[in-house]
Each structure stands twice: as structure tokens, then as C-alpha cells.
């Protein structure tokens, strides 16, 4: 059981050991986890895997639970073991790709999501259960949605906006089931089209977006879209009352982009720097702001 020993040995060291290095060269350390439920869920997943080590689902959940604790490198190790065990299982590539994104291994993430897309091509989609359920305990996304969504993000981070567009267009085919999926995909699709200079098409993406939508999880993306549409001001979206680091990272990136579209690079840079000054370095808004700064806002 050397594999499990390796997985368990770093729990107490997590707060001291960097998980990765940012795109700006900064060591990124996961905060120590004190949430008893997250820890208990991990322990349960570990025990379930120990009881059924040949069950792919048990290994997937072990990796996911490690990720929720900020133990991203260990999660990658788990998903890699899963691929060795069951290389035809798209879920392992989908989840490892996500953690490659978190740890700034963008090219590896692209490869994993492309593999997952190939493995699911022509197959029925399936609901992806949530590891951190929303307030209604209602899963809102699917396996194929998450594959294309994250692939689009990986290309976007590489500034390969043409490839990102194709991925988000595929994702949009799987985004009509609920308003949360619609706003998440619409937001990144809109930003991708703007980067490609296709402003008229970007404007059409905003047509289904309104102030009366059934949003359970993705309020930050919704607010960004309403800002693009002119319903929200950049100021209200950037610093909403009572916002936490995650909200600031997500909404702040959209506001920075808004100024970047308008040619206000210094203002955009100021906001991106505010985003990366926060602690939520696993957030996609943080990662995207980091990528912008690393490229010099080009």
C-alpha cells in the first residue's frame, strides 16, 4: 500500500510546501484546511478506495477529495494511477486536466482534455455529481460539458483564442439545460470572441442573458455578462459589498478585461494585479489574470 502511504504522508505539511509556481514565478501554497466536513469526506473516500482498490469510481473520488483539500499534486498522482488502471475512462483525464490547470501545467491540461473529448465522442453524456454540492444539492453540469469547458479555458490561457472558440462552441451545445451552465459558457465565449475582434458575434452571445435568470451557483459570471450588456457598472461588479476573495478574483478578471477591450491597459493591469494579490489562486479568474500579466497584456 505504498501508494496510500504517499497520499497520506503530506497532510500535515501542506501549508508549508508549495503546490506549484505561478505563471509570474511566485510559489503557490495551499492554505491549511480546517473544514471538518472536507477532511471527513477525504477520509471516507480514502477508506472506500482501500476497501475497493480496483473500482475506478473510488479512485476518482479519492483524487477529487484531495483536490478539495488543496492537495493538487497528490490528486494528479491519483488520477495518473487511474489512467494506468483504466486508460479508456475519460473521467480520469477530465479531472487530471483540471488539476493540471490548477498547477499551471497548461499544455498537459490541453492534452488531457483532448483525450477525454475523444473518448466521449459519440457517446451519451452523463450528469457529473458534485463534490461540493450547491445550496439545493442539485448537480448542474455534465461530464462532456466540463471537458469542453475546461479545454476552452486551457486554450484561452494560452491565448489560442481560435481553438478556445471551437471548444466553447462545443460546450455551448451542452449548456442549455440550466441557466448556470448557460452563463458560465456564455461568459468565456463572449470574452473569446472579443479577443478575436468579433464584437458583433460577442454581442449576440449576450442576447439570452437577462436580470431574471435562475442562477444557483454562477452569480459572478452572470454579473460579468450583465456588465458586458450595460446593465451593471464595472465599479459595482469589481467590488460588491461583502465580496470574498473568490468573488473578487472571478468578477475582477471580467472587469479588467472590460477595460482591456476599451484600450485602457493601465487600468486593466491595476485590476489584474488586485486579483492576483488575493489568496484564491485556484480560481479561474485568478489564473486568467495571472496569464494576462505574464503576457504583458498583449
Place 10 in a pLDDT band, splitting at 50, 70 and 90: very low
pLDDT at 4: 55
- Closest among 16, 86, 11, 1 to 42, alpha carbons compared: 11
Reply yes or no on whether the pLDDT at 146 is more than 90.
yes
**128 with 147: CB under 8 angstroms?**
no
Minimum mean pLDDT range among 62-76, 90-104, 248-262: 248-262
All cell numbers assigned to 217: 451557483
pLDDT above 70 coverage of the chain, percent: 93
> What are 75-88's pLDDT values in tens digits?
999 999 999 999 99
Residue 1 CB coordination number (10 Å): 9
pLDDT at 247: 85
Reply yes or no on whether the pLDDT at 13 is more than 80.
no
Supply φ then ψ for residue 21, to 5 degrees. -120, 135
> What are 120-136's pLDDT values in tens digits?
999 999 999 998 888 88
> What are 101-115's pLDDT values in tens digits?
999 999 999 999 999
**154 with 113: CB under 8 angstroms?**
yes
**24 with 294: CB under 8 angstroms?**
yes
Calculate the alpha carbon distances from 256 to 22, 269, 270, 273, 288 in Å: 19, 7, 8, 9, 10
Place 241 in a pLDDT band, splitting at 50, 70 and 90: low
Whether the pTM exceeds 0.75: the reply is: yes
Supply φ then ψ for residue 127, to 5 degrees. -65, 135
Higher pLDDT, 250 or 122: 122
CATH 2.40.50.90 fits domain 125-232: no
Domain locations along the chain:
125-232
Amino acid at each position: 500500500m505504498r501508494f496510500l502511504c504517499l497520499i497520506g504522508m503530506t497532510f500535515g505539511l501542506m501549508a508549508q510546501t508549495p503546490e506549484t509556481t505561478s505563471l509570474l514565478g511566485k510559489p503557490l501554497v495551499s492554505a491549511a484546511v480546517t473544514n471538518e466536513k472536507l477532511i471527513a469526506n477525504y477520509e471516507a473516500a480514502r477508506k472506500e478506495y482501500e476497501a475497493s482498490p480496483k473500482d475506478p469510481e473510488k479512485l476518482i473520488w479519492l483524487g477529487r477529495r484531495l483536490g478539495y483539500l488543496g492537495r493538487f499534486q497528490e490528486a494528479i498522482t491519483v488520477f495518473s494511477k487511474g489512467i494506468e488502471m483504466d486508460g479508456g475512462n475519460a473521467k480520469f483525464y477530465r479531472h487530471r486536466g483540471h488539476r493540471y490547470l490548477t498547477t499551471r501545467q497548461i499544455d498537459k491540461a490541453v492534452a488531457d482534455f483532448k483525450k477525454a473529448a475523444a473518448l466521449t465522442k459519440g457517446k451519451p453524456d452523463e450528469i457529473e455529481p458534485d463534490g461540493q454540492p450547491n445550496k439545493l444539492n442539485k448537480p448542474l453540469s455534465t461530464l462532456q460539458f466540463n471537458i469542453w469547458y475546461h479545454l476552452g479555458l486551457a486554450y484561452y490561457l494560452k491565448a489560442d483564442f481560435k481553438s478556445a472558440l471551437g471548444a466553447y462552441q462545443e460546450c455551448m451545445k451542452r449548456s442549455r439545460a440550466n441557466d448556470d451552465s448557460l452563463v458560465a459558457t456564455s461568459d468565456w465565449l463572449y470574452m473569446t470572441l472579443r479577443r478575436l475582434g468579433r464584437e458583433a458575434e460577442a454581442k449576440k452571445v449576450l442576447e439570452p442573458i437577462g436580470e431574471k435568470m435562475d442562477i444557483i451557483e454562477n452569480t459572478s459570471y452572470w454579473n460579468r455578462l450583465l456588465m458586458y450588456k450595460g446593465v451593471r457598472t464595472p465599479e459595482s461588479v469589481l467590488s460588491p459589498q461583502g465580496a470574498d476573495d473568490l468573488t473578487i478574483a472571478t468578477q475582477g478578471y471580467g472587469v479588467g478585461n472590460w477595460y482591456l477591450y476599451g484600450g485602457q491597459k493601465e487600468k486593466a493591469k491595476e485590476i489584474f494585479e488586485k486579483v492576483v494579490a488575493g489568496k484564491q489562486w485556484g480560481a479561474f479568474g485568478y489564473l486568467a489574470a495571472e496569464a494576462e500579466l505574464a503576457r504583458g497584456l498583449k
